[in-house]
């Protein structure tokens, strides 16, 4: 594994910087008898602190791409490097550890665990990482929730929160361990405009304060317009990659 890490580092050293995400000619096929190529050779870099929108029509492969970058899925071919580490040679446990250490996820539906309170949900990734809960983790989780404006809902269970509040807890959970990369799949897709703006502003704020890179899938042009960079995916290919068109 050490070899692979140095190999991955060496590969990215040539151009001097080390992107958080580096994809080279990544493809992803689905199906057994009838094989569909969903991603058709993606080249993509995401630098530290970049806030990027990923747009494109439904079925174009956005979630599939996010899963690959998030190490929840493996590419059929091509290279996926995360924070300078080539992930090809890592086994499931190593992938899981890397994922837990460096990536935070926000999903369209909050996906909080209903059996746990807001604080516990935010703590869970840390508990899984450390093997046990600790006061430090609890403090960290509470602070994060306070930053999300959830100070008065710390002990609430997800079922007792509104959609926007749930999504803010989910963001707190994604951010709690200070990941380098946050992957958000339609984080505001399920919220009304007000709640959506609030959640987005929080993400931008964290991005500025923590210098975490964000890759946010969105169908909402007004949200895309407020990102640093917009990548458009159509039919498994990146068709445009540019600064947003400001309204």
Partner 1 sequence: MPFEWFVALRYLREGRIQTVLILLGVSTGVGVIIFLSALITGLQSSLIENTLGSQAHVVVRPPEEMPRLLHDGRVEGTDPAAVARGLAPGEDALAVRLEKPAQRLRSINQWPQVMRDIEKVNGVTAVSPLVAGSAFVTRGEATRSVALRGIDPERFTRIIDMPSRMATGVFRVEGTEAVIGTGLAMDLGVRIGDRIRVLTAEGRTDVFTIAGIFDLQNKGVNDSWVLVSLKSAQNLLDLSGGISAIEMRVEKIFAAESIAQSVARRTGLIAESWMALNGQLLVGLRSQSSSSTMIQAFVVVAVALGIASVLVVWVVQKNREIGILRAFGTTRRQILRVFLIQGLLLGAAGWIVGVGIGTVLSLIFASLATNPDGSPTFPVNLSAQLFLGTFAMALSVGLLSATAPARRAAALDPAEAIHHG
Ligand X SMILES: Nc1ncnc2c1ncn2[C@@H]1O[C@H](COP(=O)(O)OP(=O)(O)OP(=O)(O)O)[C@@H](O)[C@H]1O
Q: Is 61 in the site for ligand X (CB under 6 A)?
A: yes
Q: Is 63 in the site for ligand X (CB under 6 A)?
A: yes
> Are the C-beta atoms of residues 67 and 76 closer than 8 Å to each other?
no
Q: How far is CA 29 from CA 32, 71, 90, in A?
A: 9, 16, 20
For residue 76, report the phi and psi dihedrals to the nearest 5 degrees: -75, -40
Q: Which stretch binds ligand X (CB under 6 A): 3-11, 60-68, 75-83, 145-153?
A: 60-68
Q: Is 214 in the site for partner 1 (CB under 8 A)?
A: no
- 83-122 residues near partner 1, rule: CB under 8 A: 92-93, 96-97, 99-101, 105, 107, 111, 113-116
Residue 247 structure tokens: 């309204």
Q: Is 76 in the site for partner 1 (CB under 8 A)?
A: no
CB 38 to ligand X: min, Å:
4
Q: Is 63 in the site for Mg ion (CB under 5 A)?
A: yes
Q: Which residues contact 110 (CB under 8 A, 6 or more apart)?
A: 158, 163, 166, 167, 169, 170
Q: Is 38 in the site for ligand X (CB under 6 A)?
A: yes
Give whichever of 107 and 200 is closer to Mg ion, judged by the CB atom: 107
Alpha-carbon radius of gyration of the chain: 18
First to last CA, the chain: 47
Out of partner 1, Mg ion, ligand X, none, what residue 113 binds, judged by CB under 5 to 8 A for its kind, is partner 1
């Amino acid at each position: 594994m050490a070899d692979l890490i140095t190999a991955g580092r060496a590969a990215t050293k040539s151009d001097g910087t080390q992107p958080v995400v580096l994809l080279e000619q990544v493809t992803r096929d689905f199906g057994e008898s009838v094989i569909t190529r969903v991603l058709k050779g993606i080249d993509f870099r995401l630098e530290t602190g970049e806030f990027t929108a990923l747009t494109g029509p439904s079925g174009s492969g956005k979630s599939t791409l996010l899963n690959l970058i998030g190490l929840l899925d493996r590419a059929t071919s091509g290279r996926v490097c995360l924070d300078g580490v080539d992930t090809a040679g890592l086994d499931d446990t190593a992938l899981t550890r890397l994922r837990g250490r460096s990536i935070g996820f926000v999903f369209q539906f909050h996906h909080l665990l209903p059996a746990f309170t807001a604080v516990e949900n935010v703590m869970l990734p840390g508990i899984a990482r450390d093997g046990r809960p600790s006061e430090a983790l609890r403090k960290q989780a509470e602070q994060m929730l306070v930053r999300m404006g959830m100070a008065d809902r710390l002990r609430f269970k997800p079922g007792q929160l509104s959609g926007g509040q749930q999504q803010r807890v989910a963001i707190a959970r994604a951010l709690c361990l200070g990941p380098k990369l946050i992957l958000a799949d339609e984080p505001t897709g399920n919220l009304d405009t007000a709640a959506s703006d609030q959640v987005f502003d929080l993400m931008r704020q964290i991005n500025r304060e923590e210098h975490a890179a964000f890759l946010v899938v969105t169908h909402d042009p007004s949200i895309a317009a407020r990102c640093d960079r917009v990548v458009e995916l159509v039919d498994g290919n990146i068709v445009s990659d540019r600064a947003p068109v400001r309204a």
